[in-house]
Amino acid sequence: MKNKTNIADSELPIMKVIWEHPNLTSPEIFEYLDGNKNTFKTLLQRLVAKGAVKSAEINARAYRYSAIISREEYTKNEQKGFLQKVFDGSREKMLLNFVKEEKITKEDLQKLMEMIEEE
């Protein structure tokens, strides 16, 4: 089976709103976003269709939406995919690259070190 958690890029902004504000109605979600409303409606529908979001009926004309796939699960999956895809699954390669690209600075390392220490 493929990556079960397949959330398209254009759908992600919607997921982020739902993750942060569960149980909103569709128009409430849309308030947090911009772009075309019809497009938004299609994407929300697709998220429901693919099982990333579930809808609870309020009445025959309105639902409240919340996530089935958690942000954690999604993040974990994306991370794994990224690591595999770009760095052939090698943590070392990835870290070296982050340092090289200055995505990780000395200060970051110090902070992280402390965080790990106090556990």
Partner DNA sequence: ATTTAACGATTACTGTTGTAAACTATAAAC
Partner DNA sequence: GTTTATAGTTTACAACAGTAATCGTTAAAT
Contact between 74 and DNA (CB under 7 A)? no
What is the CB neighbour count within 10 angstroms for residue 77? Answer: 16
- What is the smallest separation between the CB atom of 58 and its own copies, expressed in angstroms? 30
Instruction: Name which position in 1, 61, 88, 118 contacts DNA (CB under 7 A).
Output: 61
Which residue, 63 or 74, is less far from DNA as judged by CB?
Answer: 63
Contact between 117 and DNA (CB under 7 A)? no
- What is the smallest separation between the CB atom of 57 and DNA, expressed in angstroms? 8
- What is the smallest separation between the CB atom of 93 and its own copies, expressed in angstroms? 9
CA dihedral for 17, 20, 26, 31, sign (positive or negative): negative
- What is the smallest separation between the CB atom of 22 and DNA, expressed in angstroms? 14
**Residues 67, 53: contact at Cβ < 8 Å?**
yes
**Residues 65, 13: contact at Cβ < 8 Å?**
no
**Residues 65, 53: contact at Cβ < 8 Å?**
yes
Binding stretches for its own copies (CB under 8 A): 9, 12, 16, 74-76, 78-79, 82-83, 85-88, 91-92, 94-99, 101, 103-104, 106, 108-110, 112-113, 115-117
CA distance 91 to 27: 42
Which residue, 34 or 117, is less far from its own copies as judged by CB?
Answer: 117
Cα-only R_g, the chain = 19
